[in-house]
Amino acid sequence: MIKSTKQTVSNASQVPFWIRTWALASSIIVTWDFGYCLLRPLSMEGGSLNFLWKPYNLYAKIDYFYGLPAFNSQDGFTGAQAVMNVIETLLNFIYLGLLKNENVNVGQANLIGFSAALMTLSKTILYWLVEPFSEYQHIGHNNMKDLIFLWIIPNGLWIVVPAAIVDIRFPTSKSLDGSDAMNKDPDYSAAYVIFYTDVADFEGHGMTFTCGRGNETVCCCIEQLSVKFVNKKLRDLVADMRATHQICTGDSQLRWIGPEKGVIQLATGAVINAIWDLWAKAVNKPVWKLVVDMTPEEFVQCIDFRYITDVITPEEAIEMLRENVATKAEHEADVRAHGYPSYTTSAGWLGYSDDKVRRLIRESKAEGFTYFKQKVGSDKQADIRRAGIIREEIGDDGVLMMDANQVWDVQEAVDWMQDLLPFKPLFIEEPTSPDDVLGHAAIRKALYPRTKVATGEHIQNRIIFKQLFQAQAIDFCQIDSCRVAGVNEVLAILLMAKKFNIPVWPHAGGVGLCEYVQHLSLIDYICVTGTTKGRALEYVDHLHEHFLDPVVMKNGRYTAPLAAGYSIQMKRDSIEDYTFPNGKIHLQ
């Protein structure tokens, strides 16, 4: 069972307001409650202090634990619960005090807060369980209306376990890692979520990628979504992953700030991916293997086909998947032995000097890479010069791709690329706005077959991908693991790409994205297409050291991840050091 969620926030003041309010309000109410219990009979009706506890005169008639029957029989449960309430309240006040102390690590403070919340949950469950085990001798005399409104609802409130929430940022702008024509100084960041369970050290981790500012906004949306899964059983969630996905995408109020796009969609990707991570760990498999071992029917059951049945139906998807069932074992053995082909962007960032580009190209070649991507779009003459350097270094046999990161208008893209065509780029990526389906189609029509068009890292949902396929607007589909709503939606996009015969080249240029998408490419190969021909997976050599199960490259290829989960769990020290704004790295 999922007990709580946490998105680490180092500054205590960033602990969500509702959590601090809950801790304070519940402590005040519980103080009033244990005061009544420990001061009986003075606090009871007729006692000298009863004026402070007048409402308890009614409650004592509803629940005999608070009335004369328990007091006269010297039932010790009420007093024992009151002492537990004293300890719980002290923990809550200590927690609130620690949150105001900027010298205290928020992880330590949250440990106290979690202990208080766990005590609240456990003693409340115990309080409830006493009734069926004592034949309801304390509340069985009530009519149903009084029981519901004066006992079940008030006591049921205390079963909710508070969910804390993590803003992790790496200062990559200092080295210009990740720089391109649109994003000139990105700080690779993660809005990070952890689902805790009632099993020690059994956690689901998920994240979504941003470039720095605004990461805190995604965290706020993750908070809104993640609480929907607290106190849910994992087996119930994974029994119908389509319905679980729709818990996030179908919220009648939250979808207003989408729907299925923007910040709320980024948050959905983080939350859904965390559940997949938890599921895979529960069955001791990497996510790709979890999906590969599904039947076609189970695979399709994970997908929300709403808005795409004009292109692909569940029945058609099942038939497509059945075509590859017989070769699954063979293709799985292939990736375990030989890995999955990749290309590198690490040498092509726009902020790098020519000398650094040349050096990194040579290093990448020595590591076995034969596919290279160059960032373009800021300065045409600089693009031409750098394209010449890269082509000189990789030779005619090397494959060059280009990426404009959305900076051009449609005709500008066509005109700019005319001067870069002599360097034989395989494709131009994101030549214009990611929402301009017809613009992409026009660019492709003007440039094909001298070069091709790729896009996808900013395509927000399966519906826009559907339109890109229908309009013949792209030659390469660049899925992103957390721009769309997690694994569920990626599966839908893989199937549509297969139907339109568009190869999938996932986007991975950001923290944690390589770790994520390696699973998705293996699913595409083994379950959907049955081939790696004409396909490659992006690789950037940045920040992998912060993950417990980082990607492993061999001869320019991804090796198949074998650890259970989605490979996205960060090291505890990295989370603490890079939490924004008061992690150690940000304070230096």
334-360 confidence digits (pLDDT tens): 999 999 999 999 888 888 999 999 999
Predicted confidence band of residue 444 (pLDDT cuts 50, 70, 90): very high
Q: Specify the pLDDT at position 126.
A: 78
- CB burial of 241-261 (b: ≥16 within 10 Å; e: otherwise) equals beebbebbbebeebeeebebb
Could you tell me whether strands 557-558 and 553-554 are parallel, antiparallel, or unpaired per DSSP bridges?
antiparallel
Q: Reduced to 3 states, what is the DSSP secondary structure of residue 277?
A: helix
* 56, burial (CB in 10 Å: exposed 0-12, middle 13-18, buried 19+): buried
Half-sphere exposure of 320 (CA within 13 A, CB side): 25
From 6, 245, 331, 375, active-site residue: 375
Q: Does residue 64 register a pLDDT over 80?
A: no
- Is this prediction's pTM over 0.85? no
Bigger pLDDT: 350 vs 270: 270
- In this prediction, residues 179-197 reach a mean pLDDT of 81
What is the C-alpha separation between 117 and 404, in angstroms, rounded? 49
Predicted confidence band of residue 156 (pLDDT cuts 50, 70, 90): low
Q: Does residue 178 register a pLDDT over 70?
A: no
Hey, what amino acid is at 67?
A: G
Residue 360's contacts (CB-CB under 8 Å, 6 or more residues apart) are 346, 347, 352
* % of the chain at pLDDT higher than 70: 91
Q: Residues 160-174: pLDDT tens digits?
A: 333 335 788 888 777
What is the C-alpha separation between 18 and 165, in angstroms, rounded? 11
- CB burial of 359-385 (b: ≥16 within 10 Å; e: otherwise) equals ebbeebbeeebbbbbbbbbbeeeebee
Q: Does residue 11 register a pLDDT over 60?
A: no
What is the C-alpha separation between 559 and 362, in angstroms, rounded? 22
Q: Which of 9-23, 108-122, 360-374 has the lowest mean pLDDT?
A: 9-23
Q: Which of 34-48, 59-73, 426-440 has the lowest mean pLDDT?
A: 59-73
Q: Specify the pLDDT at position 13.
A: 47
Q: Does residue 224 register a pLDDT over 70?
A: yes
CATH number, domain 167-285: 3.30.390.10
Predicted confidence band of residue 55 (pLDDT cuts 50, 70, 90): confident
* 284, burial (CB in 10 Å: exposed 0-12, middle 13-18, buried 19+): exposed
Could you tell me whether strands 203-210 and 189-197 are parallel, antiparallel, or unpaired per DSSP bridges?
antiparallel
Q: Which of 164-168, 296-300, 510-514 has the lowest mean pLDDT?
A: 164-168
Closest residue by Cα to residue 142 from 129, 133, 131: 131
What is the C-alpha separation between 414 and 312, in angstroms, rounded? 32
Q: Does residue 370 register a pLDDT over 90?
A: yes
Partnered with residue 191 across adjacent β-strands are 167, 208
* 409, burial (CB in 10 Å: exposed 0-12, middle 13-18, buried 19+): middle
Hey, what amino acid is at 80?
A: A
Q: Which of 114-118, 173-177, 443-447 has the lowest mean pLDDT?
A: 173-177
- In this prediction, residues 41-70 reach a mean pLDDT of 81
From 507, 519, 542, 546, active-site residue: 507
What is the C-alpha separation between 408 and 431, in angstroms, rounded? 6
Q: Reduced to 3 states, what is the DSSP secondary structure of residue 547?
A: strand
Q: Specify the pLDDT at position 109.
A: 76
Q: Specify the pLDDT at position 68.
A: 78
What is the C-alpha separation between 428 and 563, in angstroms, rounded? 35
Predicted confidence band of residue 136 (pLDDT cuts 50, 70, 90): confident
* 470, burial (CB in 10 Å: exposed 0-12, middle 13-18, buried 19+): middle
Task: Choose the CATH number for 298-587 among 3.20.20.120, 3.90.226.10, 3.40.50.2000, 3.30.300.20.
Answer: 3.20.20.120
Q: Does residue 227 register a pLDDT over 50?
A: yes
Q: Does residue 463 register a pLDDT over 90?
A: yes
Predicted confidence band of residue 147 (pLDDT cuts 50, 70, 90): low
| SS3 readout for 357-422 | HHHHHHHHHHCCCCEEEEECCCCHHHHHHHHHHHHHHHCCCCEEEEECCCCCCHHHHHHHHHCCHH
- In this prediction, residues 307-336 reach a mean pLDDT of 98
What is the C-alpha separation between 172 and 186, in angstroms, rounded? 6
Bigger pLDDT: 355 vs 24: 355
- 8 A C-beta contact, residue 352 and residue 184: no
| Residue 375 designated active-site | yes
What is the C-alpha separation between 336 and 559, in angstroms, rounded? 7
Q: Does residue 571 register a pLDDT over 90?
A: yes
What is the C-alpha separation between 558 and 341, in angstroms, rounded? 7
Q: Specify the pLDDT at position 225.
A: 94
DSSP category for residue 149: I
Q: Specify the pLDDT at position 282.
A: 92
Residue 70 in tokens:
């328990």
What is the C-alpha separation between 170 and 523, in angstroms, rounded? 30
Predicted confidence band of residue 191 (pLDDT cuts 50, 70, 90): very high
**Cα maximum dimension of the chain:** 97
Outline which parts of the chain fall under CATH 3.20.20.120.
298-587
- 8 A C-beta contact, residue 88 and residue 71: no
* % of the chain at pLDDT higher than 90: 61
- 8 A C-beta contact, residue 268 and residue 483: no
What is the C-alpha separation between 271 and 251, in angstroms, rounded? 14
Could you tell me whether strands 203-210 and 340-344 are parallel, antiparallel, or unpaired per DSSP bridges?
unpaired
Bigger pLDDT: 273 vs 346: 273
Radius of gyration of the chain (CA): 28
Predicted confidence band of residue 107 (pLDDT cuts 50, 70, 90): low
Outline which parts of the chain fall under CATH 3.30.390.10.
167-285
Look at the block and give the residue holding tokens 């948050």.
267
Report the mean per-residue pLDDT for the chain: 89
